[in-house]
Amino acid sequence: MLLKRKIIVLVILLLTGFCRLYAQDSTLIGKTINWDLVKCIDYAKKNNIQINSLRLSQLTSQQQYLLAKAARLPNLSGSASQNFEHANNNTNSVDANGNVIASRSDFTASGSYSIGSNVTLYNGGLINNTILQANLSVQSANLNVIQQENDITLQITQAYLAILLDKENIIYDTDLVNTSAAQVKLEQQRYDVGSVARYALIQLQAQHSTDQFTLVNAQNTQRNDILTLKQLLLLPSDANFDITKPDTIVPVDTIAAFHTVEQIALKNRPEVKNGELGVNIAQYGVDIARAGYKPTLTAGASLNTGWVSGNGTVFPGQINNNFNQQLGFTLTVPIFTKRVVTTQVEEAKINVDQANLNLKNTKITLSQTVERAFINVQNAKSQYAAALEQLKYSKEGYRIATEQLKVGVANTVDFLLQKNLFVQAQQAFIQAKYNELLTMKIYDFYRGIPIKL
């Protein structure tokens, strides 16, 4: 038993070192990396510390299951002892004729050898129920890994879409900077020939500076969001990381019915399955505890022999003459255990009640989460529709104001007002677009659809 435990600990330590070694892929140091969402998720599942830690727990539970199955087998042990005795007689003696007999030295050797085995024939179902419980624990460990993979998938998706939003903001902000620079140049030419006042030129120059500041903020935000995803992936700090932008992102028009998604989630999500396993594991705990009320029957057998020097029989002969065989049965019946077994049974029943409460809480929490995801999708779709409509008219108003500014029929104040309305509508639209995409991906994820763009 002690040797098996040492082997298990050694395996865990080796695997822990392996996971630490590969938590950050050394082959990526100094490399330029451009990954899409699927690649990011796959990499995170392989290298995430929490997931790898749960995988080690999974290996431990498998070893415990094998150990529980081995309890059905008989044990076998052997022993051997060898003794040597040397005795000195230092007293001289005199025989009947008066002759002196000198002292002598006596040397004696002896040995005993045995081999024995014991096997449990009946113990109230303790071994069988322990095996079944350990098997469920292995399944539970597997579900823990899947649940953690789901959690990291949602985190990666959210971080990835945040970067996509940043990139689109940068495109629009860059366009605004270029447009405002051209407007300042045109206004400078008009000012040089005296067709506009200096105040109008200063207003456009100030707006150009504001646009540049907005662009810089967007670029800073992208750097921070890329760093967030990079650290979430546990990539080396020296790796030059960026994401691959999809060609097109088309919002989904249809939304699955809430009750349909809820039932799918309650049936298939690992946290619910794990809760159900927790109830079954606790119920086996009651059966294991009740085995303490029942008798235990074991069988034992042993072979033993031995020898002693100086008795006139040679070693092989003594081994054969002293060879003994023994077979026996032991029945242990619990009569009074000072309430130890009763307490264990009652505590096991309490664990069953607690497991049922945990399962109920898991289902309620999951249902609420799915409902919140459904509401988030509805809100996001309505926001997207409103933002698209707002952008449509703000863009047209900005276009008209820009044309009027070119020909000198619009004043700077009216133009800047229309531009600010357009910028706000554009930012709202981009935010609504990616918010709808994120909420939809999360909602679909709860009905078992893998996340990809």
8 A C-beta contact, residue 422 and residue 395: yes
8 A C-beta contact, residue 429 and residue 249: no
- Nearest CA to 381 out of 256, 251, 248, 262 is that of 251
Interacting residues of 173 by C-beta distance below 8 A, sequence separation 6+: 211, 214, 215, 218
Residue 129's pLDDT band, with cuts at 50, 70 and 90, is very high
> Which carries the bigger pLDDT value, residue 408 or residue 391?
391
Mean per-residue pLDDT of the chain: 88
Q: Which residue has the tokens 């087998």?
A: 73
Task: Specify the pLDDT at position 383.
Answer: 94
8 A C-beta contact, residue 118 and residue 74: yes
> Residue 420: how many CB atoms within 10 A of its CB?
14
Task: Specify the range with the lowest mean pLDDT, choosing from 18-32, 350-364, 419-433.
Answer: 18-32
Q: Does 99 have pLDDT greater than 90?
A: no
Q: CA 96, 102, 104: angle at the middle one, nearest 5? A: 115
- Give, in order, the Cα–Cα distances in Å from 247 to each of 216, 244, 433, 448: 25, 9, 15, 25
Q: Does 93 have pLDDT greater than 70?
A: no
Interacting residues of 211 by C-beta distance below 8 A, sequence separation 6+: 173, 176, 177, 180
Task: Specify the pLDDT at position 320.
Answer: 85
Q: CA 39, 44, 50: angle at the middle one, nearest 5? A: 170
Q: Kindly tell me the burial class for residue 327, based on how many C-beta atoms sit within 10 Å of its own C-beta (0-12, 13-18, 19 or more).
A: exposed
Q: What is the pLDDT of residues 46-75, one digit of tens each?
A: 999 999 999 999 999 999 999 999 999 999
Give the separation between CA 453 and CA 449, rounded to whole angstroms.
12
Task: Specify the pLDDT at position 157.
Answer: 95
- Give, in order, the Cα–Cα distances in Å from 11 to each of 14, 59, 68, 287: 5, 9, 18, 31
- Average pLDDT of the segment spanning 19-46: 75
- Average pLDDT of the segment spanning 319-337: 92
Q: Does 22 have pLDDT greater than 80?
A: no
Residue 88's pLDDT band, with cuts at 50, 70 and 90, is low
Task: Specify the pLDDT at position 161.
Answer: 95
pTM of the model: 0.82
Determine the 3-state secondary structure of 31 from DSSP.
coil
Task: Specify the pLDDT at position 408.
Answer: 77
> Residue 14: how many CB atoms within 10 A of its CB?
10
Q: Which residue has the tokens 């100094």?
A: 30
| Tokens linked to 414 | 């009216």
Q: Does 104 have pLDDT greater than 90?
A: no
Give the separation between CA 409 and CA 424, rounded to whole angstroms.
24
Residue 317's pLDDT band, with cuts at 50, 70 and 90, is confident
Domains in the chain, ordered, with CATH? 2-73+125-293+336-445 (1.20.1600.10), 77-122+296-332 (no CATH)
- Average pLDDT of the segment spanning 235-242: 90
| Tokens linked to 261 | 């998604």
H/E element holding 410?
A: none
Give the separation between CA 41 and CA 203, rounded to whole angstroms.
47
Q: What is the pLDDT of residues 255-287, one digit of tens each?
A: 899 999 999 999 999 999 999 999 999 999 999
Task: Specify the pLDDT at position 442.
Answer: 94
